[in-house]
Structure formats: structure tokens, C-alpha cells
Amino acid sequence: MSKKPWYDDGLRFRCTGCGNCCTGEPGVVWVSDEELAAIAEFLDEPVGAVRIEHTRQVRGQTSLKEFANGDCTFFDGQTRRCRIYPVRPTQCQTWPFWESNLDSEESWEAVQLECPGAGRGDFFSLEQIEAAAAKIQI
């Protein structure tokens, strides 16, 4: 029988909308062809144009681009909101329940330093956390 994960009793999370996870340090935000098509439809723009303007290739996969300051290409600096929130990629939807963040209590504590919503707010059961983490390997 495998050992219970440290978050067996569940975790709390509620986004405060601070924007920290969409800004600052550069990183990759993986986006699939299906997700890109949904984003293009939401923006009412041709998918090819969205691909050129908002994505880049990283290690043979597609990632969203960033502005020079590291902010996500879809982050609205004025409202500090995501411009494509209803159709944001799985990577964004499943934050902060990524395997890398759940790896250990220390990893989760590091997440809490950046994300004021991690560890507070809505309760997520072990099953919910694992279902989110299984959607994408990060």
C-alpha cells in the first residue's frame, strides 16, 4: 500500500486576484491546440493570428508568450486581470495544485510565499487535489 500524501487531509485555496502568478518571473504556460482554438474563439480572432501573436515554441511545445517584463501575454496591466479567464489554459486552471507544488510541504510553503491564496479559503479534498494535479504534469 502506498504512503498517504502529506496533504491527505486536503488543502485550502482561494485566488485573491493579486496577479502574482501571471506576472514577474518568466516561465512557460503550456497551451494545447484545443485550448488555443478556444482562446481564439473567445477573442473572436483567427487561431493563426493568436498563435503568432501570443505563443512561442519551447522544447517542441507551445507556450504562451510574455511581455518584456515577464507578465503573461494575456495579463491586462490596467485591470490586473486575465483577459481570457473563462478559457485559460489547464496549467492556469489547476494552479496551485501542480505535482511540483505538492511534492513536499516545503514546496507548498514556497508556493504560499508567492500566492496569498494558497493555504486559505476554499477547502479542496485529497480527491479534488489529485484530480487537478493529474490534468497536467508540471
- What is the contact surface with ligand SF4 in residues (CB under 6 A)? 15-21, 95, 114-117
Which residue's CB is nearer to ligand SF4, number 31 or number 40? 31
User: What secondary structure letter does DSSP report for 5?
Assistant: P
* Residue 115: CB minimum distance to ligand SF4, A: 3
Which residue's CB is nearer to ligand SF4, number 16 or number 79? 16
* Residue 124: CB minimum distance to ligand SF4, A: 13
* Residue 138: CB minimum distance to ligand SF4, A: 14
Q: How far is the C-alpha of 80 from the C-alpha of 19, rounded, in Å? A: 6
Q: How far is the C-alpha of 2 from the C-alpha of 120, rounded, in Å? A: 28
Which residue's CB is nearer to ligand SF4, number 14 or number 56? 14
Q: How far is the C-alpha of 50 from the C-alpha of 43, rounded, in Å? A: 9
Among candidate residues 39, 133, 127, 138, the one with its CA nearest the CA of residue 94: 133
* Residue 75: CB minimum distance to ligand SF4, A: 10
* Residue 83: CB minimum distance to ligand SF4, A: 14
Provide φ and ψ at 5, rounded to 5°: -70, 160
- Angle of helix 33-43 relative to helix 47-54, nearest 10 degrees, comes to 110
Which residue's CB is nearer to ligand SF4, number 5 or number 24? 24
To which residue does cell 514577474 refer? 24
Which residue's CB is nearer to ligand SF4, number 50 or number 118? 118
